Structures are given as structure tokens and as C-alpha cells.
Amino acid sequence: MTTGHPLIELRNVTVAYGQGDSRVTALSALDLVVQEGESVALRGRSGSGKTTVLHAMGGLLVPSSGVVEWDGVALSSLDARARRSVRASGIAYVFQGANLLPTLTAYENIAFAECVSSARSPYLPIELLRLVGLEAKADSLPAELSGGESQRVALARAIAQQPRALLCDEPTGHLDSDTGERVLDLIEALRQQVGFTLVIATHDADVAARLDREVELHDGRVLLHGSLA
């Protein structure tokens, strides 16, 4: 349920790399607001700027110009340590690949995420594994898990951080359609149970249709009613 309170706001955000003839613009004067409690799909083809938007939202990059605000605080006004603190206290990522630490078990991956977070989860790691249906895989290494199981562990790891916002980059991109549907069902069930704002970057219209709102990106800009904003 949305609160009507902006949690993440991008105002006139441009992200560019390189100089002169080699300059590449990933985002161009982009405006976007995500309300606390809503679920938003960032949809667009490869290269449209979806991943860059997620990185800007979470403070993983500082835009070339414009402002990114997290709960009313401009991230660009913070030093690198303070931005890391914001991420640790409120933002979690799930990527296209699960990106689990390969030498740690499923249980240890979740426990480690909680250790590096400034929040303390009310759930034990084994309880989070139970939430995602993988209690029996607690002692399994990532190499011993299927793609769907790895992504479910990644979700449990994200929930261990007690995020106010979960940012997902093509979370079903490496999964078959049935497994992908189950992962999306799980994300929604966790959102209802735990409560967090959700932003998913996807090229898939079916994935986008499951969320509260869809934002279509084209060449680093928001596409509104067939026209670039």
C-alpha cells in the first residue's frame, strides 16, 4: 500500500560517461518519483537505461547532473561513506544473476548480509530460508543450487537487510518461464508479508504488468504516451 510519501526521487538526472566524441549518455534529464509502498516496473529494451536508473536510485553512482533523493535526502550531498550507510539501512538489490558468495552456504550468505547491514532482521537466517521454501538447502553451496533456488536465496539475503526498498534488475532473466513466475510470486508474497517498496527493471511486458505502475524507458529517457518526457 502506498503512503503518498516519495521515497525515491530523481530530478533532471543525467548520467554520462567519457568526454568529447566518446561521450555516452546513459540517462538524459530524467525525472521519476517512487512512492513509499508502491511497486514500479522500469521497462525497456537492452540499453534503455534501466540498470543505470536502479544504480542511481540506490546511490551506487553519482549522476553527472541532477538530484537523486532518498527519503528527502539528496544522495549527492553525502560522501561515499554516508551513501553506503543509506544503502545499508534501507536499500537491497537482487540482480539478474543471484551473485551469491560462492564459498559460503545458503545459510551463511544470508547471515553475512545481515552482518553488513545496519538493520537487524527479526528473522533468523533459517527462518528466511523457510520463507523462501529452502530450509533443506541451508548447508548447500551456490554451485549445488539450481538457478531458481539461487535466486530465492538471493531474495532471502535481501530481506535479511530489512530494506525499505528492494531494487531488482531482471530478476527472472536467467530463468525459464515457470521458474520465473514462481520467483515473481515469491517476491510479491514477501512484499505483502515483510513490506517494502519494489522497483523491478525488466524488458518483459508480462513481468511489468504484475506491478502497480510501469515506467517505459527509451534511450535514457521516460517514454510517455509514445513521446519522450
pLDDT tens digits for 27-38?
999 999 999 999
Instruction: Note the maximum CA span of the chain.
Output: 55
CA 173, CA 134: separation in Å to the nearest integer? 21
Query: What's residue 125's pLDDT?
Result: 92
Cell of 11: 530530478
Task: Answer yes or no: is 123 within a domain.
Answer: yes
Task: Answer yes or no: is 1 within a domain.
Answer: no
Task: Answer yes or no: is 39 within a domain.
Answer: yes
Structural domain of 105: 6-228
Q: Determine the average pLDDT of the residues in 65-81.
A: 87
Task: Answer yes or no: is 24 within a domain.
Answer: yes
Task: Answer yes or no: is 47 within a domain.
Answer: yes
Task: Answer yes or no: is 13 within a domain.
Answer: yes
For residue 189, count other CB atoms closer than 10 A to its CB: 12
Nearest to 32, CA basis, from 164, 219, 213, 203? 213
Split at pLDDT 50, 70, 90, the class of 119 is low
Q: Determine the average pLDDT of the residues in 86-95.
A: 82
Q: Determine the average pLDDT of the residues in 11-25.
A: 90
pLDDT digits (tens, 9 = 90+) for 195-217: 899 999 999 999 999 999 999 99
How many domains does one find in the chain? 1
Task: Answer yes or no: is 184 within a domain.
Answer: yes
Are 16 and 220 within 8 A, CB to CB? no
pTM over 0.85: yes
pLDDT digits (tens, 9 = 90+) for 146-197: 999 999 999 999 998 888 999 999 988 888 888 889 889 999 988 998 889 9
Task: Answer yes or no: is 76 within a domain.
Answer: yes
Split at pLDDT 50, 70, 90, the class of 116 is confident
CATH code, domain with 163 = 3.40.50.300
Split at pLDDT 50, 70, 90, the class of 2 is low
Q: What is the mean pLDDT of the chain?
A: 89
